Amino acid sequence: MMNRINWTELKPQIQQVGRLSLPAILTQITTIAMQYIDSAMVGALGANASAAIGLVSSTTWLLSGTIYAVSAGFSVQVAHQIGGNHDKKARDVVRHGIASALVVSAVLCLIGLLISHPLPGWLGGAQKIRRNATLYFMMFAIMLPFSQLNSLMSSFLQCSGDMVTPSILNAVMCVLDVIFNALLIPVFGVMGAGMGTMLACAVISLTGAWFCCVRNPRLRLRRKEKTVFDAKILKTAFKIGLPVAVQEIAMNSAMVAATMLIAPLGSIAIAANSFAVTAEGSATCQATASVPPRQRSSAEATAPEITSWRNATEISALPWAQS
């Protein structure tokens, strides 16, 4: 006879899953929504404008995956330290994380700016959409440091147990994206969509940094505290972030390859593929966010969206999180 379900024991587990996954679901929906916003508002300019964004979108995901890996590498350590009530060590990780992340994002920004002009040609885009694709990707490259800061601050806040603030900030970012796009797209066209997203991300990333480094009682940085460079923190971040980076690069490289195959088919094909991939992302993000850590892959289990000080014990059990 099958064991009966004990709803008394199951109820608190369901509540915990809901409490941890809902902010993650809202965050991922926000990310997908911003892609829809850019695509929808630029779509009014015609198929070529939508194709310009669609042509380089897979490359933006590739760079964003690296940013996500950096955030995972440090956020897991913050959750671990807070879980052990070592707030000073957690703040040390925050300082190392901010410095390292800004260096990495600055390098990615420079690489993005350098390849922004030849990239549409490498991907096989038609001559008529290359200029707009270059301008959009250039705006994305300039936005990378803000994207990195936003990802890092959201992760740190969630790891400290604050799951609400990052969700609210990301929702506000969507609203700001709509406002900035409405103002800039009629003037600058496709580039205006990139500028709108960049400005929205900049405002929210700096606001998130204020909440994390000034307002959060456990993570706010104290002027009197001295932090000494600790290579162990960087080494652990590398161990944790590398599997995430490999996964993201592998998945998004496949998207880039698919774009190169579709690009010769014309602007409409590129735009249609971009819309389809965005729709696919919105359909799968909720399920991914709600899966408990033990049931996800080892790399995904480090995801900052589902990590807080309450499950730091599980994090410390990960093989690459061992010191």
Q: How far is Cα 136 from Cα 130, in angstroms, rounded to an integer?
A: 10
In this prediction, residue 106 carries a pLDDT of 95
- What is the structure's pLDDT at 191? 93
**Range with the poorest average pLDDT among 53-57, 82-86, 288-292:** 288-292
Residue 246: which pLDDT band, with cuts at 50, 70 and 90? very high
Report the range of poorest mean pLDDT among 150-154, 161-165, 237-241: 161-165
Mean pLDDT for the stretch of residues 249-264:
90
Strands, E assignment, 173-286: none
Statement: residue 319 has pLDDT above 90: no
**Which string of DSSP letters, residue by residue, matches 123-184?**
TT--HHHHHHHHHHHHHHHHHHHHHHHHHHHHHHHHHTT--HHHHHHHHHHHHHHHHHHHHH
Report pLDDT digits (tens) over 20-64.
Answer: 666 666 666 766 677 677 777 887 888 888 899 889 988 998 898
Residue 104 pLDDT class (50, 70, 90 cuts): very high
CA dihedral over 303, 100, 170, 280, signed as positive or negative: negative
Asked whether the beta carbons of 252 and 65 are under 8 A apart, the reply is: yes
Whole-angstrom distance, CA of residue 206 vs CA of residue 92? 20
User: Which residue, among 314, 282, 317, 270, has the nearest Cα to 53 in the 3D structure?
Assistant: 270
Is the pLDDT at 303 greater than 60? The verdict is: no
Is pLDDT of 290 > 60?
no
58, 204, 222, 228, 310 from 29: Cα distances, Å: 18, 16, 34, 39, 24
pLDDT in tens, 106-145: 999 999 999 999 999 999 999 999 999 999 999 999 999 9
